[in-house]
Amino acid sequence: MKNIWTVARKELRTYFTSPIAYVIITVFLVLVGFFFYSLIWWFNSQSMQMAQNQYYYSQLNINQQVFGPLLHNQSIILLLMLPLLTMRLFSEEKKIGTEELLYTSPISITQIILGKFLASLLVLLSMVALVGLLTTFAFVYGNPEIAPVLIGFLGLFLMGAAFLAIGIFFSSLTENQIVSAILTFGALLLFWIINWASNSAGGFWKDVLNYVSFFQHFDNMTQGILDTTDLIYYLSFAFFGLFLTHSVIQSRRWR
C-alpha cells in the first residue's frame, strides 16, 4: 500500500507541477459550466411557459431534464479528455528510460500500475467533485431529488475509472504518447457505440453487445437506477484494463 501511494504521489506531482491537470480540470469545468447554464436556462424558460397548464407543469422534472443530459454531456467530454490524462503514464517511462529504474526497484509491477491508476483516479475525482460543487446551485434554487443525482455522479466516476484503466493499458503498449491517446480514444468510442450493432444482431449477441457497451450501463445510472450489474460491469472493466497492462509489461520482459 505504501509503495502504491509512493508511485501515486510521484504521478500526482507530475500532473500538478506541469499544466496538465490544471488545463484538463479547467477546460472540463468551463465546458460543463456552460452546459449546466444552458440546461438550467432552458428548464427555467420551460417552467415559465408550462406554468399556465397544470398538467404539463406537473410533468417537469429537473432530474430528468437537467441532470440527465448534463451527465451525458460530461461523459462525452471525459471520453475525449481522459485519454490525455493516461497517455503518458507508461509511455513516458519507457521513452525516457525510467522504466528500467522502476522494474529494478523492490516494488512489484502491480504496485506500479495501481499507483498510476490511483493518481489518475484522484484527478478524475477532483474533476467530478468540482462539477458536483457547481451543481449545488440547482439545489439552492430548486428541489431536485438528491439520490438519483448522486447515483448519476457515481456512474460518471465509475465509467471514468474504466476509461482510465483502458488508457493505462494502451499507454503500456507504446512509447509514443499520441499513439497511446488515439488508441485509447478509438477503443473507448467503439465500446461506447458498440450497442448500435445490436439492432441488426439477434438473440444472444444482441444481449452481449448491449452488455459490453458503456452506454446502456451509464444510461441506467443517470436515471438514478442503482443496479449491481452496472457496478460490476464498470469494476470488471477497470480490472480487466489493469490486468491486461500487467500482462503486457510482464510479457515484454520475458520476450
Partner 1 sequence: MIAVERLTKKYGDLTAVRDLSFQVEKGKIWGLLGPNAAGKTTTMRILTGYLPATDGKATVGGFDIFEQPNEVKKILGYLPEVLPLYPDMTVTEYLGFIAAIKQIPAAKRKEAVARAVKSAGLETTKGRLIKNISRGFKQRVGIAQALVHDPKFLILDEPTIGLDPAQIIEIRQLIKSLRGEHTIILSTHILAEVTQTCDGVVIINEGRLMASGSLEDLTASVRKKEVAVLKIRRGLQEAAEAFRAIPGVEKVNRDDGEIRIEWKPGTDPRDEVVRLCVEKEFGLLELRPLTFNIEDLYLKIVSGGAEQ
Nearest-approach distance from CB 106 to partner 1, in angstroms = 4
> Residue 255, interface with partner 1 (CB under 8 A)?
yes
Site for partner 1 in 89-118 (CB under 8 A): 96-107
**CB contact at 8 A, 149 and 135:** yes
> Residue 19, interface with partner 1 (CB under 8 A)?
no
Buried b (16+ CB within 10 A) or exposed e, 165-186: bbbbbbbbbbbebeebbebbbe
Nearest-approach distance from CB 171 to partner 1, in angstroms = 16
> CA dihedral defined by 225, 227, 229, 231, rounded to 10 degrees?
90
> Residue 251, interface with partner 1 (CB under 8 A)?
no
Query: Would you say 100 or 227 has its CB closer to partner 1?
Result: 100
Nearest-approach distance from CB 85 to partner 1, in angstroms = 16
Cα separation values, 157 from 27, 57, 82, 247, Å? 18, 33, 12, 25
Nearest-approach distance from CB 22 to partner 1, in angstroms = 14
Query: Would you say 17 or 54 has its CB closer to partner 1?
Result: 17
Return d(Cα 255, Cα 157) in angstroms, integer.
Answer: 36
Grid coordinates representing 192?
461506447
> Where on the chain is the footprint of partner 1 (CB under 8 A)?
3, 6-7, 10, 13-14, 17-18, 96-107, 253-255
